[in-house]
Chain A
Amino acid sequence: MPLIEFDGNKYETKPDETVLDCLTRFDCPPPSSCRSGLCHTCMMRATEGTPPESSQQGLKETLQQQNYFLACSCIPTEDLTVALADSSAAPHFEATVLEKNLLTPVILQLRLSVPEGFSYIPGQFLNVFRDEHLTRSYSIASVPALEKVIELHVERIKDGKMSGWLFGELNVGDTLQLSEPLGECYYLSGNPEKNLMMVATGSGLAPLYGVLRDALNQGHQGDIYLYHGSENPEKIYLQDELEKLAKLHANLHYKPCISGDGADGNIKDRANEIALDTHKNLKDWRIYLCGHPLMVADTKRRAFLSGASLNDIFADPFEFSS
């Protein structure tokens, strides 16, 4: 089986084992988060050998050419010598913390300055680097056309290394290291009459808050239905703002959905169930799904079965790591 040489040591991979799993097995893993090829946290570079193309999906052409790859998606076909992606691999931006507001005890709103050259589309996400070992992805909730700021919604995760630090130690005036904007979960102009169905759980509201305001700002004509779900009221936030927006725009329909904790929970009250039950025919709709990975995968499948085309379903699963 192919050998991975990392930091001066050689490790033999098992059949069909990814570089991430192999290095984890030997206790020297690169940083990682989503383990699904989306967040780019586990990006490494092959300094000898060529990583398979499938492990480079989503990386910029220039990085692909230099043999950067995603460790979680890389099942090597030959021996590789690998290294952590250094800071020159992907542009780093430095932003200043302008505001920290607790929207609820578990949801923190962070408002950051927009670094020079940082250009994003509402709904994209970015990586926050605390140091070379700790990276986490956060979706951007702000809209450049409306204000010059980067707004993130951070959900407090039990034992969360990043969320704990952002909640407890980061101060207004401090700087944060950010990646370039990533992802394709954004508004597409060009079909202003399309109906949009948006389902978010917890802090999954962040990108959709950006996308729907972007849509309205661009004069979207079709109906926009936003279902924001949580087991309990602690993760329902921006309710007043959304209700105000819905009053101002006749085509925006907002529904917060509280399904109840654990055993008291009622599946029928979940945001995705209500959404799918209300809109039974999704042919020609565009669907946005953000938040809990199980909700996102299940709703994607059912939206497809209800008639939505796969290219019209934008799924942004939030894979939480602590």
Chain B
Amino acid sequence: MSDSLFDKIGGEAAVNAAVDIFYRKVLADDRISRFFDGVDMEKQAAKQKGFLTMAFGGPNNYTGKDMREGHAHLVAKGLNDSHFDAVVENLGATLKELGVADELIGEVAAIAETTRNDVLGK
């Protein structure tokens, strides 16, 4: 029986290892850090966990509507494709740092990509 993508990456343990690394990269990235300003850090980290779980193909209950509504105020502040790309880039870099294989990183990027239109309210 073949493992799911989530299992191959390392399941919840991988998500926990990735959250701090990913969140730090995002806060330090000048292209997107302003979208994370002034937000309660613990709440943000919890949302990152949810996002990473979903991107790793794990169990998650986000609907397209959730993604749309959750990001609407950021779209109003100018969130666009370039920012989405930056986030996916940081996600890839995080996984590379954790030693995840390239083809699995590709699969994660593909899952993240399916949320683009909802996140950007297109």
Contact = CB atoms under 8 A, between A and B. Distances in A.
Give the contact-size bracket for chain A: under 10
A120 interface: no
Interface in A290-314: 297, 300-301, 304-305, 309-310
Interface residues of B, number: 9
Interface string B9-46: 00000000000100110011000000000100110010
A301 B27 contact: yes
Nearest to A309: B20
A305 B25 CA distance: 8
Contacts of B42: 310
B17 to A, nearest CB: 11
B50 to A, nearest CB: 15
Interface string B50-82: 000000000000000000000000000000000
Contacts of B41: 300-301, 304, 310
Contacts of B20: 304, 309-310
A304 B24 CA distance: 7
B45 A305 contact: no
A240 B118 CA distance: 60
A259 to B, nearest CB: 23
Contacts of A301: 27, 41
B37 to A, nearest CB: 9
Nearest to B20: A309
Nearest to A315: B41
B52 to A, nearest CB: 15
A310 B24 CA distance: 11
Contacts of A297: 38
Contacts of B23: 304
Interface in A168-208: none
Contacts of B28: 305
Give the top 6 A-B pairs by smallest Cβ distance, nearest first.
A310-B45, A305-B24, A305-B27, A305-B28, A310-B41, A310-B42
11 contacts: A300-B41, A301-B27, A304-B23, A304-B24, A304-B27, A305-B24, A305-B28, A309-B20, A310-B20, A310-B41, A310-B45
Interface of A: 297, 300-301, 304-305, 309-310
